[in-house]
Structure 1
């Protein structure tokens, strides 16, 4: 019997799981456009190492019904903008995810609420690159920052003009108007 060849950009998840197949590879970070957009300005995604990935298919019996599973392993090194010093900060992402596939969106939504596992609706063709990019985006830190910034931030002295700048009190102007109108 001829072994099937699976395309990671148009993966037939059901057949992949049924065959207990596996794939692995790497993609340039620039090919994952949404991830590349998160790059620090001084370290674009074209300078990052390739995103590595592997996926294995599995079929499990749940209540007498066969369900497709994908087991992902993803590795990436990205450069984001530190929110304290605004310089590039490196983040290494190493993910392992198991995703259960069910027959439709309604079942996926229902099961996803109560389940700790990731549940998706089974599609005829799944773009593995898009799924991997989604998982990487979800793994990015909300506020990227260095443990200790490479250069300390300049702290303004208390007597700097920034703190000395006096703004007119809007209520003082209102009080002056009231005094002016009450004296007539």
Structure 2
């Protein structure tokens, strides 16, 4: 008989022991923090697609390590930092997490371990982890490959141009000095 796992109330140890896989997709609006990163406009966000896989890694002379592999992606409308119009960015996250028995063990292993360490739980919200990982994977500077509109490439400040057209007050003084000599 196959167990039914709930990604918002996941028993991580049972999930890993069964080498279970959960896949799903949902609306971006269900992830409020990630939803705040999108811009309004004509470009629509895609669904959040995710996959979770549990596994145990045997250890010689000790208990098996509990692992959770996560993959997630979403097409998110963001503001292009070059032309300031919406750009649809594909945000992808792929991480593996090792679970340990308690906070003290996690803190002790965190500095020396290369992998991400989390504390095991019978009521783990894996969808919150999916949202966290997608937020961490957001591009620092979203850009179009080629912006849809031509950009003005003037390196001159318009106020500076206007100032250059006015007569230089020191030039007038220099002219007065020459005429008095």
Q: Do they superpose with TM above 0.5?
A: yes
1:16 maps to 15
Match among 82, 87, 109 for residue 85 of structure 2? 87
Q: TM-score, normalised by structure 1?
A: 0.78
Gaps of 5+ in 2: 165-181
CA distance in 2, matches of 1:153, 1:162: 20
Question: Which moved further from structure 2: 104-113 or 126-135?
Answer: 104-113
| Secondary structure of 1:16's aligned partner | helix
C-alpha displacement of 1:84: 1.8
| Secondary structure of 1:34's aligned partner | helix
C-alpha displacement of 1:15: 1.0
1:55 and 2:13 correspond: no
1:177 maps to none
Match among 75, 78, 99 for residue 97 of structure 2? 99
Displaced runs of 4 or more, over 4 A: 162-166
CA distance in 1, matches of 2:136, 2:82: 21
1:5 and 2:20 correspond: no
Check the 8 A contact 1:104/1:122 in 2, yes or no. yes
Kindly provide the CA deviation profile for residues 3-49 of structure 1, in whole angstroms up to 9, marking residues without a partner as x.
321111100101111111111111111111111100012157xx322
- Over aligned residue pairs, what C-alpha RMSD do you find? 2.2
CA distance in 1, matches of 2:8, 2:84: 35
Kindly provide the CA deviation profile for residues 143-173 of structure 1, in whole angstroms up to 9, marking residues without a partner as x.
212233222333457472355469xxxxxxx
CA distance in 2, matches of 1:49, 1:111: 37
Check the 8 A contact 1:59/1:67 in 2, yes or no. yes
| Secondary structure of 2:64's aligned partner | strand
Kindly provide the CA deviation profile for residues 53-102 of structure 1, in whole angstroms up to 9, marking residues without a partner as x.
11111112235112211111212111111122111112113332211101
CA 159–101 in structure 1, closer or farther in 2 if over 3 Å, else same: closer
Gaps of 5+ in 1: 167-184
Q: TM-score, normalised by structure 2?
A: 0.80
What is the number of equivalent residue pairs in this alignment?
A: 163
Check the 8 A contact 1:40/1:87 in 2, yes or no. no
| Secondary structure of 2:111's aligned partner | helix
